[in-house]
Amino acid sequence: NKGIKKIIRNLIFILFFIFLFISIYKIYANIDVNTYENEIVEEKYEKKTSEESISDTLEKINSTIVGISKIKDKGSTVFLEDGVKKLGLGSGIIVSENGYILTNEHVSGEKYNKCYVTLENGTTYTADVVWSDSDLDLAILKISMKGLTYAKLGDSKQLQIGQNVYAIGNPIGYEFQRTVTGGIISALNRTIKIEENEKVNYMSNLIQTDATINPGNSGGPLINVNGEVIGINTVKITTAEGIGFAVPINCVKNIVEKFIKEGKFEEASIGIFAYDKNIVSYITPNIEFQNGIYVEQISEDSPAKKTELKVGDIITKIDGNDLINMCDLREYIYTKKPGDEVILDVLRNRKNLTIKIKLSK
């Protein structure tokens, strides 16, 4: 009897632990399944919300994209469609409610030129080119309009390789207006050599992207996922696929802000022609330096000519701000006015110099 009772107790004990194990397993299994299902639902919701957010952002930005054509450009004529003027190739982005527009110089023409601008509603205006820079291939236009929807300018210094970006413009022709292409930032601070009309030019500090950029996209914006303009699409290498470039928005941001606030921009000048290390490697391969800009030429009757600055000097800082490339110098000088003084830190024959310069127009 004692042996039978002991066996029964042991069986009851074993059954109890089996029951307890099964119960605990079911509870945890159910929690894991619910957690997994909840994670899937949350992931789908976040993805959907993200997609909807980007779609809304792109839709808002689309209304700020304009078509641009040079008045005297036979290849980009304005023509009538149902009584409404339409444009040929070229894009731009509205950057203020009172009619300032940012684009490429090769799209609009140089300063003091006039060009045609077509808004989203199909209305065409004559625009004045109020500022341009051939080195940057950028121009600012002005049309007589107020209350316009405009794009927000971002900070191109915060960009990272692999970041998602979108290019918007009017590729191929006006019938494909406001085309959106997506991609990533493939590289930063790129320098490219451009040969056209028997001339050689260099563009530096460019943003490289694999977002598709066709000829008509020139002058259109490169934007981040927040809908901020972080670059202006400018050129495309035709011998390679998936390689497009944009000028960083910080190179022109201060100028745009001055036009918006003051209605004018007085450009200050040091009076030098200089290269950063990326371009120097193309022109004078035996010159090596890490940061700063190499002074290639000093203009006659310029502020720099009146100082001890020399050709071959490397300017490493301006007013204590490090200079990594030419965009850094432009960005800072564009905050100044003619008559302001700046202090340059200069490297010459491995010696450090400090030079004070009074800026002129």
Please identify which residue in the block is written with the tokens 């409610």.
97
The number of CA neighbours under 13 Å toward the Cβ of 355 is 24
Q: Reply yes or no on whether 106 is catalytic.
A: yes
The number of CA neighbours under 13 Å toward the Cβ of 178 is 15
Q: Which residue in 76, 186, 204, 218 is the catalytic one?
A: 218
DSSP code, position 323 = -
What does the angle CA 312 – CA 314 – CA 318 come to, to the nearest 5 degrees?
140
Closest CA relative to residue 188, chosen from 213, 209, 214: 209
What is the pairing mode between strands 351-358 and 341-348? antiparallel
Please identify which residue in the block is written with the tokens 């030079």.
355
Q: Cβ–Cβ contacts within 10 Å for residue 133, how many?
A: 18
**Counting Cβ atoms within 10 Å, is residue 12 exposed (0-12), middle (13-18) or buried (19+)?**
exposed
Q: Which residue in 69, 76, 96, 106 is the catalytic one?
A: 106
Q: Which residue in 137, 210, 313, 328 is the catalytic one?
A: 137
Residues with catalytic function: 106, 137, 218
